[in-house]
């Protein structure tokens, strides 16, 4: 089964408008045509500019890092899924652990955001992952399956087929401490098994599951060679063109 390989760069709250354009242009210029889908997730203000840069590059796509669950209304400071889609962005990251931790986003809210994104024609990159104390207690698989059940497992199979899953252990995000290839593979397999149980084997085999958490050029080849790791969601290392390009080139032949 050939699943879509995806490398997504989550810029988080980094880069001025000019710096963002420069980074996107450098990536667009260096990207070789290939089957690997590359997604740039800049802050909202960059979306239109980066989407315009990505337009001429067949395997370069754009994501927002979040969206509101309502389509429009009196929600000062918020951005809706249809607004994101209107910029040319095709994806939206939802449920990132920083959104869960600092902005109180929980399973039911994320379920609403996922539905709003799909209704607007966006593909959700849905993040799940456990904090350190949960892993140490041996409850990581149960927690991640709970996160999926709370926010994406009530979708129709047609809608679920548009979702990309990103497994990001919280203890590995921005810490320099990466999950070992075995830890990543074990969890990705658990996630795929949970999807198979809910939606059947075929859909589970088609779902791209990305690893995120201190993934960089030096460890990406080993992570991406695991059978159930279909790419990465890259934070810090996506802000450097050379490093990010090397990660994109890290899949086994």
Question: Minimum distance from CB of 73 to ligand PGA (Å)?
Answer: 29
* 201-204 own/partner pairs: CB under 8 Å, 24+ apart: 203/157, 203/160, 203/161
Q: How many alpha carbons fall within 13 Å on the CB side of residue 79? A: 15
Among 121, 157, 174, 200, binds ligand PGA (CB under 6 A): 174
Question: Minimum distance from CB of 70 to ligand PGA (Å)?
Answer: 25
Which region among 59-67, 136-144, 184-192, 210-218 touches ligand PGA (by CB under 6 A)? 210-218
Question: Minimum distance from CB of 10 to ligand PGA (Å)?
Answer: 4
Q: Which is nearer to ligand PGA, 10 or 185 (CB)?
A: 10
Closest Cα to residue 50, out of 247, 238, 210, 246?
238
Task: Using DSSP bridges, classify how beta strands 231-234 and 123-128 pair: parallel, antiparallel or unpaired.
Answer: unpaired
Task: Using DSSP bridges, classify how beta strands 231-234 and 209-212 pair: parallel, antiparallel or unpaired.
Answer: parallel
User: Is 220 near ligand PGA (CB under 6 A)?
Assistant: no
Q: Does residue 231 come out as left (phi exceeding 0), alpha (psi in the -120 to 50 range) or beta? A: left
Q: Is 158 a catalytic residue?
A: no
Which among 90, 98, 105, 168 is annotated as catalytic?
A: 168
Among 168, 195, 229, 248, binds ligand PGA (CB under 6 A): 168
User: Is 43 near ligand PGA (CB under 6 A)?
Assistant: no
d(CA 230, CA 188): 9
Residues that bind ligand PGA in the complex, under the rule CB under 6 A = 10, 168, 173-174, 212-215, 233-237
Active site residues: 96, 168
């Amino acid at each position: 089964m050939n699943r879509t390989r995806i490398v997504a760069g989550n810029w988080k709250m980094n880069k001025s408008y000019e710096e963002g354009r420069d980074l996107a242009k450098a990536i667009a210029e260096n990207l070789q045509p290939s089957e690997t889908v590359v997604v740039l997730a800049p802050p909202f203000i960059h979306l239109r500019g980066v989407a315009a840069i990505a337009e001429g590059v067949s395997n370069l796509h754009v994501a927002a890092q979040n969206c509101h669950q309502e389509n429009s209304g009196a929600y000062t400071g918020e951005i809706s899924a249809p607004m994101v889609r209107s910029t040319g962005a095709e994806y939206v990251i939802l449920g990132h652990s920083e959104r869960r931790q600092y902005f109180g986003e929980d399973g039911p809210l994320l379920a609403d955001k996922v539905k709003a994104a799909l209704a607007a024609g966006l593909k959700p990159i849905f993040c799940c992952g456990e904090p350190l104390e949960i892993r140490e207690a041996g409850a990581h698989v149960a927690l991640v399956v709970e996160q999926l059940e709370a926010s994406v497992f009530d979708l129709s199979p047609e809608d679920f087929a548009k979702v990309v899953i990103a497994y990001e252990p919280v203890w590995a995000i921005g810490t320099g401490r990466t999950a070992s290839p075995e830890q990543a593979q074990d969890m990705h397999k658990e996630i795929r098994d949970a999807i198979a149980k809910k939606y059947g084997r075929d859909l589970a085999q088609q779902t791209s599951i990305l690893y995120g958490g201190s993934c960089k050029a030096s460890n990406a080849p080993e992570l991406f060679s695991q059978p159930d790791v279909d790419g990465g969601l890259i934070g810090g290392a996506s802000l450097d063109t050379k490093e990010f390009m090397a990660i994109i080139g890290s899949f086994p032949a």
